[in-house]
């Protein structure tokens, strides 16, 4: 028969294995054919927690909405400060000529998480249709993106390559891009990639027609546990007088206004699971059993 010590050891080992097991597999809801936020999804898949996380997605399409309930591989997203607990959005701040006002359009919102069954289908309808309502002060937008009727030209970096990357922010090499006078408007984009080191990539070119409305498209991620909001991609349709001023991207990061009201159900302290609750319960169970064993 087992003596007391071996029994204790055996039990501790079982508890240890149980904890490891519950960390390494992740249960995500996953349904392929959801068409609206009331999707009745009850399919659960077990995936490797080290390699995947669960998501809920809601997206505005020209002819309605798209929703997704699934898991995605961790290496799929290229977030530079990477944790799989976030709300990510793609939103457009666009000028309406008729009413001379700026407004927000939310194009996409994703909730990502990594505890068992955390992407519960009934949370889809909690994903706010107006996203994080990203906005910027109108006077800043007017000054930087619009041009007065007496101002005929804008300056714009003309970069023949689709994107030019470097290790310095707000800079494109004069060898690769040249500043030109541009009659209509300039499209400028910035994005970060961190494959090995942080790279700042820019797109900039002059558009020889007057078709597009001044606007800014922003992709951003709010890391829930770090309370950290990051813009990772910005594209601007710039009609201002100086669209070669790449510091415009820094201004946006400094001046952006975010409304977290709609995403409250996904923040800690609400009914959505967090990694803390799972690790906490494992810890408590372990302590409970440990104290049982010691009697
Ligand atoms: C989890 O993934 C990382 C990176 O891919 C790897 O270094 C680590 O050994 C993995 N851990 C387990 C327990 O599989
Ligand atoms: C920025 O984040 C969004 C949302 O997670 C992602 O789809 C996109 O690929 C990211 N872009 C870059 C350049 O990392
Ligand atoms: C501009 O605003 C007016 C009044 O609210 C609205 O009717 C119109 O559809 C808007 N235009 C665009 C392009 O959104
Ligand atoms: C989608 O479009 C509608 C109508 O333009 C808008 O009210 C809503 O905020 C948009 N966003 C999402 C994420 O549905
Ligand atoms: C545009 O901005 C850049 C960078 O701030 C500056 O070097 C350049 O002189 C400005 N051009 C004009 C025409 O104001």
- Give 82-93 pLDDT, tens digit per residue: 688 999 999 999
E-assigned strand segments in the chain:
25-29, 44-48, 52-61, 64-73, 86-96, 101-113, 154-158, 164-166, 178-182, 185-194, 198-207, 215-223, 228-238
Return the minimum-mean-pLDDT range out of 5-19, 103-117, 144-158, 216-230.
5-19
pLDDT band at 283 (very low <50, low <70, confident <90, very high): low
Q: Assign residue 262 a region (left: φ > 0; alpha: ψ between -120 and 50; beta: otherwise).
A: alpha
Boundaries of domain holding 15: 1-92+106-131+263-295
What are residue 277's phi and psi, to 5 degrees? -65, -40
Assess whether 111 and 232 both reside in one domain.
no
Instruction: Examine residue 112 and state whether it is found in any structural domain, yes or no.
Output: yes
Of the ligands numbered here, which is closest to the C-alpha atom of 189?
2
Ligand 3 atom 14: residue of nearest CA: 96
- What's the whole-number mean pLDDT along residues 24-37? 93
Contact 134, 257 (CB under 8 A): yes
Assess whether 246 and 275 both reside in one domain.
no
Ligand 3 contact via 97 beta carbon (within 6 Å): no
Q: State the distance from the centre of ligand 2 to the C-alpha of 193, rounded, in angstroms.
A: 9
Q: Assign residue 227 a region (left: φ > 0; alpha: ψ between -120 and 50; beta: otherwise).
A: left
CA–CA dist 154, 177 (Å, integer)? 16
Full-model pTM: 0.83
Contact 268, 293 (CB under 8 A): no
Alpha helical stretches, state H, 129-265: 138-145, 248-255
* pLDDT tens string 174-198: 999 999 999 999 999 999 877 677 8
Assess whether 175 and 120 both reside in one domain.
no
Ligand 5 contact via 154 beta carbon (within 6 Å): no
pLDDT score recorded for residue 77: 54
Q: How many CB atoms lie within 10 A of CB 208?
A: 9
CA–CA dist 249, 234 (Å, integer)? 7
Tokens representing 110? 């994703």
Assess whether 245 and 271 both reside in one domain.
no
The closest of 290, 274, 245, 253 to 86, measured between CA atoms, is: 274
Assess whether 123 and 247 both reside in one domain.
no
pLDDT score recorded for residue 237: 97
Tokens representing 229? 């909001």
Q: State the distance from the centre of ligand 4 to the C-alpha of 16, rounded, in angstroms.
A: 47
**What is the CATH classification number for the domain harbouring 70?**
2.10.60.10
Assess whether 123 and 144 both reside in one domain.
no
Q: State the distance from the centre of ligand 1 to the C-alpha of 49, rounded, in angstroms.
A: 10
Q: State the distance from the centre of ligand 2 to the C-alpha of 201, rounded, in angstroms.
A: 13
Instruction: Examine residue 249 and state whether it is found in any structural domain, yes or no.
Output: yes
CA angle, residues 223, 56, 67, in degrees to nearest 5: 135
pLDDT score recorded for residue 191: 93
Provide the number of structural domains found in the chain: 2
Instruction: Examine residue 225 and state whether it is found in any structural domain, yes or no.
Output: yes
Residue 295: burial class (beta carbons within 10 Å; 0-12, 13-18, 19+): exposed
DSSP code string of 99-115: TTEEEEEEEEEEEEE-S
């Amino acid at each position: 028969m087992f003596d007391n010590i071996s029994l204790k050891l055996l039990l501790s080992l079982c508890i240890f294995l149980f904890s490891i097991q519950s960390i390494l597999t992740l249960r995500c809801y996953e349904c392929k054919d959801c068409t609206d936020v009331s999707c009745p999804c009850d399919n659960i898949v077990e995936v490797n927690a080290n390699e995947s996380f669960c998501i809920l997605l809601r997206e505005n399409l020209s002819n309605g909405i798209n929703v997704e309930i699934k898991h995605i591989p961790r290496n799929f997203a290229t977030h530079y400060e990477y944790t799989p607990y976030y709300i990510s959005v793609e939103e457009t701040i666009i000028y309406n000529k008729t009413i001379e006002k700026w407004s927000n359009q939310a194009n996409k919102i994703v909730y990502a998480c990594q505890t068992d069954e955390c992407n519960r289908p009934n949370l889809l309808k909690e994903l706010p249709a107006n996203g994080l309502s990203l906005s910027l002060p109108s006077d800043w937008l007017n000054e930087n993106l619009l041009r007065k009727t007496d101002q005929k030209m804008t300056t714009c970096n003309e970069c023949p390559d689709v994107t030019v990357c470097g290790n310095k922010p707000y800079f494109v090499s004069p060898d690769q891009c040249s500043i030109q006078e541009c009659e209509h408007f300039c499209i400028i984009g910035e994005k970060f990639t961190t494959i090995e080191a942080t790279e700042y990539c820019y797109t900039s070119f002059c558009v020889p027609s007057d078709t597009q409305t001044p606007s800014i498209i922003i992709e951003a991620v709010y890391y829930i546990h770090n309370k950290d909001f990051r813009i990772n991609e910005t594209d601007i349709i710039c009609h201002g007088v100086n669209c070669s001023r790449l510091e415009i991207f820094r201004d946006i990061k400094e001046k952006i206004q975010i409304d977290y009201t709609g995403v409250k159900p996904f923040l800690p302290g609400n009914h959505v699971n967090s990694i803390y609750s799972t690790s906490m319960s494992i810890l408590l169970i372990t302590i409970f059993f440990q104290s049982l064993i010691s009697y």
